[in-house]
């Protein structure tokens, strides 16, 4: 019987891996401009970390974790998100003792047992960033600007929408929660069974519920913005001002919430046109208590996560133009040996070179055609005799003869011309 991949877990095939590399390279380039460094936590952590770090009333913890008991009898979980893992590593290695400001990113797979559909998988990948030790509004603005820069450089400015909100803090949120709970109690017949329970313990989660009747129920729910304390109002205003100065275009959305109790003040989401119902590409926000909840110091932070599959879906075809040269050889032992010397010379000069040795001339030409290289170098009896090479432009099918000795110069200059087109 044929063995297939597990539902919701995808292979990334060679034809797509160029786009993945481009997204990763772009991320590293942009994040390093902001002074972020990479931290790579393991994929498997103690289950306890996520119970504490995500909150046991979230969908992720209640329904979606890949949790199992290992051979030593410990409960372990394939990470469903990166923030808790990164903060665990920061605490464990005392990184804030070495430098009280930490700017960290990580890239890699996450695991959630969700119902798979387009844009939603059970193994998916995230780009994650965390900035710890700076509480001011401009740290928020800068972090959001970094997320915006990444989204813009991959998707283009027109295709994306960044929405920002403030969720208040320990001072002002309780009054909001009480008001919200009262509102939800009056509409509880519309709520799903999870939300009926959550509305007393964590009513903000209800605002985030995806069940249609719950969305209907919260349509006219009270909003946080009216109840923000002076500190939060001032912080939020300065975040928006900072974003303006950094050239980020965003919209305020007072309905935007994140379900976690640890989120404080700034919260944001980036959505993209062209993705259907799963249109969120990134989300994040400030958390002032999460580090201490995980056993670390009382230091605040702000972070975000991008869903990479959704970014890749929007990237379309790879923007890389293939570069390099395919070498086609007349199948005669001495000429084949001469072609190996040519191939080696081209590769040593850093030119991507491929051949398909041991096949007929026609089969090699067909392969050269399919491989997508812009140039093909042909070495036959005539070329060997006259110490020349035939270079074929694969797009126009025009051919020129060059001196064998000048091959590096000629091929380099022809490839440079092609790049400029
Ligand atoms: P979250 O960690 O839930 O805040 O999600 C952050 C981003 O990760 C989302 O905006 C999505 O782009 C992406 N994401 C979350 N869950 C999935 C999933 N199951 N499959 C694919 N992408 C996901």
Report d(CA 152, CA 409) in Å as an integer.
Answer: 38
Asked if residue 123 has its Cβ within 6 Å of ligand 1, the reply is no
Q: What local confidence, expressed as pLDDT, does residue 55 receive?
A: 80
Residue nearest to atom 13 of ligand 1 (CA): 307
Alpha carbon distance 231, 357 (integer Å): 71
- How many Å apart are CA 24 and CA 214, to the nearest integer? 37
Range 319-330 average pLDDT:
79
**End-to-end CA distance of the chain, in Å?**
49
pLDDT tens figures, 62-120 = 889 999 999 999 999 999 999 999 999 999 999 999 999 999 999 999 999 999 999 99
Q: 133 phi and psi, to 5 degrees?
A: 95, 5
Q: What is the model's pLDDT at position 200?
A: 87
Tell me the per-residue pLDDT of 279-305, one tens digit each, with 9 for 90 and over. 899 999 999 999 999 999 999 999 999
Nearest CA to ligand 1 atom 14: 307
CB of 112 shorter than 6 A to ligand 1:
yes
pLDDT at 319: 44
Q: Given a cut of 90, is residue 417 above it in pLDDT? A: no
What is d(CA 29, CA 33) in angstroms, rounded to the nearest whole number?
7
Domain extents in the chain: 14-172+228-318, 321-419
Q: What are phi and psi of 161, to 5 degrees?
A: -130, 125
Res. 199 pLDDT band, cuts 50 70 90 = confident
Handedness of CA 288, 293, 294, 298 (dihedral sign): positive
**Ligand 1 atom 11 nearest Cα:** 307
Counting from 1 in the atom list of ligand 1, the atom nearest the Cα of 311 is: 12
By most ligand atoms within 8 Å of CB, the mutation choice from 305, 306, 308, 315 for ligand 1 is 305
Instruction: Round to whole Å and give the CA distance between 23 and 25.
Output: 6
Q: Which CATH number fits the domain 14-172+228-318, given the four candidates 3.40.50.620, 3.10.129.10, 3.30.930.10, 3.40.50.10420?
A: 3.30.930.10
Bridge pairing between strands 399-403 and 75-78: unpaired
Distance from C-alpha of 225 to C-alpha of 254, rounded to nearest angstrom: 6
**Helix or strand run (H / E) with residue 337:** helix 333-348
Q: Look at the domain 321-419 and name its fold.
A: Rossmann fold (3.40.50)
Query: Could you tell me the distance, in angstroms and rounded to a whole number, from the CA of residue 173 to the centre of ligand 1?
Result: 26
306 and 320 Cβ atoms separated by less than 8 Å: no
Contacts of 210 (CB under 8 A, 6+ apart): none
Protein residue closest via CA to atom 8 of ligand 1: 307
Rounded to whole angstroms, how far apart are CA atoms 149 and 157?
Answer: 9
Local structure of 185: helix, strand or coil: helix
What band does 207 get if pLDDT is binned at 50, 70 and 90? confident
- Per the structure block, which two tokens stand in for 25? 């390279």
The total of other beta-carbon atoms located within 10 Å of residue 406's CB is: 12
Q: What is the pLDDT of residues 249-286, one digit of tens each?
A: 999 998 898 767 778 999 999 999 878 778 899 999 99
Task: Give pLDDT tens digits for 392-411.
Answer: 998 899 999 999 999 999 99
pTM of the predicted structure, to 2 decimals:
0.84
Distance of CA 332 from the midpoint of ligand 1 (Å): 56
Q: 214: how many CB neighbours lie within 10 A of its CB?
A: 23
Residues 284, 286: Cα–Cα separation, whole Å: 7
Distance of CA 20 to the CA centre of its chain: 9
Q: Is any ligand 1 atom within 6 A of the Cβ of residue 275?
A: no
| Any atom of ligand 1 within 6 Å of the Cβ of 309 | yes
Residue 326 in 3-state DSSP?
strand
pLDDT of amino acid 323 = 82
- Report helix, strand or coil for 202: coil
* Residue 281 CA, closest ligand 1 atom number: 12
């Amino acid at each position: 019987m044929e063995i297939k991949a597990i539902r919701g877990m995808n292979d990334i095939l060679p034809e797509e891996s160029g786009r993945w590399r481009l997204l990763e390279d772009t991320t590293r380039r942009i994040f390093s401009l902001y002074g972020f460094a990479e931290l790579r936590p393991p994929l498997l952590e103690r289950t306890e970390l996520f119970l504490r770090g995500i909150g046991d009333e979230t969908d992720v913890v209640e329904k979606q974790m890949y949790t199992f008991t290992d051979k030593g009898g410990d409960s372990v979980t394939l990470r469903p998100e990166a923030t808790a893992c990164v903060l665990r590593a920061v605490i464990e290695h005392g990184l804030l003792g070495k430098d009280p400001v930490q700017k960290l990113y990580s890239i890699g797979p996450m695991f959630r047992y969700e119902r798979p559909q387009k844009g939603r998988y059970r193994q998916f990948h995230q780009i994650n960033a965390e900035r710890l030790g700076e509480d001011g509004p401009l740290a928020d603005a800068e972090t959001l600007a970094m997320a915006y820069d990444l989204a813009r450089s991959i998707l283009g400015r027109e295709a994306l929408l960044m929405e920002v909100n403030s969720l208040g803090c320990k001072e002002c949120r309780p009054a909001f929660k009480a008001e919200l709970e009262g509102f939800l109690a009056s509409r509880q017949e519309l709520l799903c069974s999870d939300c009926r329970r959550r509305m007393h313990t964590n009513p903000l989660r209800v605002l985030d519920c995806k069940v249609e009747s719950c969305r209907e129920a919260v349509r006219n729910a009270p909003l946080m913005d009216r109840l923000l304390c002076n500190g939060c109002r001032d912080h939020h205003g300065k975040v928006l001002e900072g974003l303006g100065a950094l050239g980020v275009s965003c919209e305020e959305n007072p309905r935007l919430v994140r379900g976690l109790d640890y989120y404080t003040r700034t919260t944001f989401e980036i959505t993209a046109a062209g993705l259907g119902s799963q249109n969120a590409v990134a989300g994040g926000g400030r958390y002032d208590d999460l580090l201490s909840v995980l056993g670390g110091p009382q230091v605040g932070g702000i972070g975000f996560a991008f869903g990479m599959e959704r970014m890749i879906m929007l990237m379309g075809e790879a923007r890389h133009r293939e570069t390099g040269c395919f070498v086609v050889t007349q199948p005669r032992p001495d000429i084949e040996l001469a072609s190996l010397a040519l191939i080696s010379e081209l590769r040593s000069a850093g030119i991507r070179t491929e051949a398909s040795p041991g096949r007929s001339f026609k089969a090699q030409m067909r392969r050269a055609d399919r491989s997508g290289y812009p140039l093909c170098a042909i070495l036959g009896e005539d070329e060997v005799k006259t110490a020349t090479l035939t270079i074929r432009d694969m797009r126009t099918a025009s051919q020129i003869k060059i001196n064998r000795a000048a091959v590096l110069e000629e091929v380099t200059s022809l490839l440079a011309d092609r790049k400029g087109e």
